[in-house]
């Protein structure tokens, strides 16, 4: 069995974040010890790790709750879960594409600045009129 702190250490989640997820009903079947503190078994720990991934997928709390409800339904809901994840995956791929474009721009701009500084290229600016 794992304590809240153990789970936080294992997942990288903050104590407050884990408590919030528990209070939102996102960690079902959490047991309590004799002091009424939450304790987690291997299944709960694995689910909390999944929640961390879902958060990184930019799922909202409401989406996580919906996903959890489908998971609790069992195998019959697998097609709808796959659809939910496919939609998130498409959004993330688009975000990755936009971020890669931004990184490529910065790479290009850094190289241009290096060329200006080294004298390889003469400085110009699209923001200022050419000096005569």
Residues 28, 87 within the same domain = no
Print the domain residue range for 14. 1-73
Residues 21, 56 within the same domain = yes
Residue 40 bridge partners (DSSP): 2
Answer whether residue 93 is part of any domain: yes
Residues 5, 54 within the same domain = yes
Provide the percentage of residues in the chain whose pLDDT is more than 90.
92
CATH of the domain at 26: 1.10.1660.10
Residues 64, 30 within the same domain = yes
**Residue-wise DSSP of 48-91:** HHHHHHHHHTT--HHHHHHHHHHHHH-GGGHHHHHHHHHHHHHH
Provide the percentage of residues in the chain whose pLDDT is more than 70.
98
Q: What is the pLDDT of residue 128?
A: 85
Residue 43 in contact with residue 72, Cβ under 8 Å? no
Residues 49, 88 within the same domain = no
Residues 81, 66 within the same domain = no
Is residue 27 predicted with pLDDT exceeding 60? yes
Confidence of residue 132 (pLDDT cuts 50, 70, 90): low
Answer whether residue 56 is part of any domain: yes
Residues 11, 50 within the same domain = yes
- Judged by DSSP in three states, 32 sits in strand
What is the mean predicted confidence (pLDDT) over 113-128? 93
How far apart are the C-alpha atoms of 74 and 54, rounded to whole Å? 18
Residues 56, 78 within the same domain = no
- Judged by DSSP in three states, 102 sits in helix
- As for how many domains the chain has, the answer is 2
Is residue 74 predicted with pLDDT exceeding 60? yes
How far apart are the C-alpha atoms of 61 and 124, rounded to whole Å? 49
Residues 95, 59 within the same domain = no
Q: What is the mean pLDDT of the chain?
A: 95
Residues 81, 47 within the same domain = no
> Within a 13 Å sphere around the CA of 59, how many CA atoms are in the beta-carbon half?
24
Q: What is the pLDDT of residue 25?
A: 94
Residues 64, 80 within the same domain = no
Interval 77-97: pLDDT, tens = 999 999 999 999 999 999 999
Is residue 31 predicted with pLDDT exceeding 60? yes
Is residue 9 predicted with pLDDT exceeding 60? yes
What is the mean predicted confidence (pLDDT) over 40-57? 95
Report how far apart, in Å, the C-alpha atoms of 114 and of each of 8, 102, 107, 118, 126 are. Answer: 44, 18, 11, 6, 17
């Amino acid at each position: 069995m794992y304590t809240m702190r153990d789970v936080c250490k294992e997942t990288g989640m903050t104590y407050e974040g884990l408590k919030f997820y528990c209070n939102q009903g996102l960690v079902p079947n959490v047991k309590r010890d004799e002091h009424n503190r939450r304790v987690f078994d291997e299944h709960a720990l694995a689910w909390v790790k999944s929640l961390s991934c879902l958060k990184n997928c930019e799922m909202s709390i409401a989406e996580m709750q919906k996903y959890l409800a489908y998971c609790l339904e069992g195998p019959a809901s697998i097609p709808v879960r796959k659809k939910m994840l496919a939609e998130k995956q498409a959004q993330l791929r688009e975000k990755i594409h936009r971020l890669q474009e931004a990184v490529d721009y910065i790479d290009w701009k850094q190289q241009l600045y290096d060329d200006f500084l080294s004298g390889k290229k003469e400085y110009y600016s699209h923001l200022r009129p050419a000096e005569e």
